[in-house]
Amino acid sequence: MTLTLNVNGQTRSVEADPATPLLYVLRNGLGLSGPKYGCGLGQCGACTVQLDGEAVFSCLTPLAVVGERPVVTVEGLGTGEAPSVLQKAFIYEQAAQCGYCIAGMIMRAQALLDANPSPSDAEIRAHMEPNLCRCGTHMRILRAVRRAAGSKNAETEAVR
């Protein structure tokens, strides 16, 4: 059946069964390959996107429950030429090793910063807890989130 989704600020129509997980439609139907298939069980976070502002596992989010709620993937934050503050911070800290988890990490962190622009270290750690990095760059990822949170003037401060 034809379903209408609101993805990265645009209205998109997809041909899919309502039981289809959002991740499959984002990647295969809409060509947004930022969110990754990791475990398919909500245990790793590689597929994390924002749904109505909240970080969710898109691999466990059937289209049936998405409805009109806005979906944001890492492609919705910035581009290679104009990365967002958080993306710049991840680049500055070189927080990616293999990079497979990073889009999910960024989306989970963005949900935190949207709700709480200056989180404490404990809040960052607690919030990021569902997402795993098998390369072990967690310390750099935490630094990147801290760096982005410290950028008070989000739009103008270029990451040095």
- Interface with other proteins (CB under 8 A): 17-21, 40-43, 51-52, 54-57, 59-65, 122, 126, 129-130
The torsion of the CA quartet 100, 112, 22, 47, rounded to 10 degrees, works out to 20
> Measured from the CB atom, is 5 or 89 closer to other proteins?
5
71-72: strand order across its sheet: 10-15, 2-7, 71-72, 48-51, 54-57
**Counting Cβ atoms within 10 Å, is residue 138 exposed (0-12), middle (13-18) or buried (19+)?**
middle
CB 152, min distance to other proteins, A: 25
Residue 57: φ, ψ to 5° = -80, 110
Amino acid identity for residue 149 in this structure:
A
Q: How far is the CB of 42 from other proteins (least distance, A)?
A: 4
Smallest gap from Cβ 107 to other proteins, in A, equals 13
Residue 61 Cβ, how far from other proteins at the closest point, in Å? 5
Q: Which is nearer to other proteins, 66 or 148 (CB)?
A: 66
Based on CB atoms, which residue is closest to other proteins, 29 or 42?
Answer: 42
Nearer to other proteins, 126 or 139 (CB): 126
